[in-house]
Amino acid sequence: MKFLRYPGGKSKLLSYLVNFLPTKKDIKGTYIEPFVGGGSVFFHINPETALISDLNSELIELYKGIKLYPHKVWEIFESFPSGKTAYYEIRDKQMDGKPLYYKAARILYLNRTCFKGMWRHNSNGVFNVGYGGEERRWVITHQNILELSKTLRKANIHNSDFEEIILSASKNDFIFLDPPYKPGEKDLMELHYRNGKFLFDEQVRLSETLKSLPKSKNIRWAMTNSSHKDILKLYQDFKIRKIPFGTSDKPGIQTKDSKEVLITNY
Ligand SMILES: C[S@@+](CC[C@H](N)C(=O)[O-])C[C@H]1O[C@@H](n2cnc3c(N)ncnc32)[C@H](O)[C@@H]1O
């Protein structure tokens, strides 16, 4: 079951990535994911202890809601009516003062019925993706929400910038990083995510943060990123593997020349 439809989601690359990632048993410390997004790697590994974070505050409310109130989230998700008119009503509802489980159910509903699982906001921070249809809504079940909640209960969930999260790592932790990027390119220019652009200076800040981790702490990390030469240059002292397949420039089309790499410090 794919939990969320999420831009840049790694579910299609999972079968390749897991060959190079530690298993739950191999992680002696905490599993840390600073750009968790749809969380496909996190949910797959299902770690014993975890710290997950993302700047997308609605996404983080969704995770916290499911962690604490799985039944209530399901009950409200199920009660939302179907169809285009209902979609726009629920999308445009005022959320101030609503309980966490209500906000979580709304985000889950929007994610599963909006156009292509996009996550876009207007300049006032209001979700403004159009209606996409119902066909993906009931792919998720009450049982799925309970299982997600079980995994999330082993995680601390934050809404912080990546630097703070990476620097909080301690001895023997493992960090998986999937920053926003467009395969083959150095900058992400579109306002595709809640908090906008991820330009090259952010990539530089990310590489410097990783390089500042003390060797004595034995922290392992793995990252997916664009194969743009300027990004590869930032990681020339690390192990870089070209991902042998992926999504091409045309959405939904698979290619053997993915322009994505997996970088590890082990
Ligand atoms: C490529 S997505 C992660 C996709 C995820 N691995 C999956 O499988 O769905 C990148 C994420 O980084 C988040 N993000 C962008 N800038 C950030 C920052 N400065 N600190 C933390 N998260 C950030 C975005 O909100 C987005 O969810």
- Residue 174: per-residue pLDDT: 98
State the Cα–Cα distance between residues 29 and 169, nearest whole angstrom: 9
Judge whether 5 lies within some domain: no
Judge whether 3 lies within some domain: no
The domain boundary, picked from 131, 151, 171, lies at 151
34 CA: nearest ligand 1 atom: 21
- Residue 252: per-residue pLDDT: 61
Same domain? For 44 and 163 the reply is: yes
Judge whether 46 lies within some domain: yes
Same domain? For 140 and 163 the reply is: no
In terms of Cα–Cα distance, which of 230, 240, 234 is closest to 266? 240
Distance from chain centroid for Cα 61: 13
State the Cα–Cα distance between residues 56 and 218, nearest whole angstrom: 29
State the Cα–Cα distance between residues 29 and 171, nearest whole angstrom: 7
- Residue 6: per-residue pLDDT: 84
- Residue 42: per-residue pLDDT: 97
Residue whose token pair is 């997308």: 56
**What's the total number of domains in the chain?**
2
Same domain? For 116 and 245 the reply is: no
Q: How far is CA 223 from CA 45, 163, 181, 196, 243, in A?
A: 15, 14, 12, 20, 12
- Residue 1: per-residue pLDDT: 64
Same domain? For 128 and 79 the reply is: yes
Judge whether 1 lies within some domain: no
Radius of gyration of the chain (CA): 18
State the Cα–Cα distance between residues 110 and 76, nearest whole angstrom: 13
State the Cα–Cα distance between residues 196 and 200, nearest whole angstrom: 13
User: Domain with 218 in it: what CATH number?
Assistant: 3.40.50.150
Same domain? For 125 and 172 the reply is: no
DSSP bridge partners of 155? 50
Same domain? For 164 and 257 the reply is: yes
Same domain? For 68 and 42 the reply is: no
The domain boundary, picked from 151, 173, 200, lies at 151
- Residue 80: per-residue pLDDT: 97
Same domain? For 99 and 113 the reply is: yes
- Residue 192: per-residue pLDDT: 53
| Average pLDDT per consecutive 10 residues, the chain (266 residues; last block may be shorter) | 80 92 98 96 97 94 98 98 96 94 97 89 82 90 96 98 98 97 85 68 97 98 97 98 76 73 98
Same domain? For 73 and 190 the reply is: no
37 CA: nearest ligand 1 atom: 27
Task: Choose one of 54, 159, 191, 262 to mutate for the ligand 1 pocket test, by most ligand atoms within 8 angstroms of C-beta.
Answer: 54
- Residue 257: per-residue pLDDT: 75
Same domain? For 212 and 255 the reply is: yes
- Residue 40: per-residue pLDDT: 94
Pocket of ligand 1 (CB under 6 A): 6, 8-10, 34-35, 37-38, 40, 54-56, 161-162, 178-180, 193-195, 198
State the Cα–Cα distance between residues 263 and 243, nearest whole angstrom: 10
User: Domain with 67 in it: what CATH number?
Assistant: 1.10.1020.10
- Phi then psi dihedrals of residue 90, to 5 deg: -70, -40
Judge whether 182 lies within some domain: yes
DSSP bridge partners of 246? 255
Tell me which residue range forms the domain holding 224: 11-56+159-264
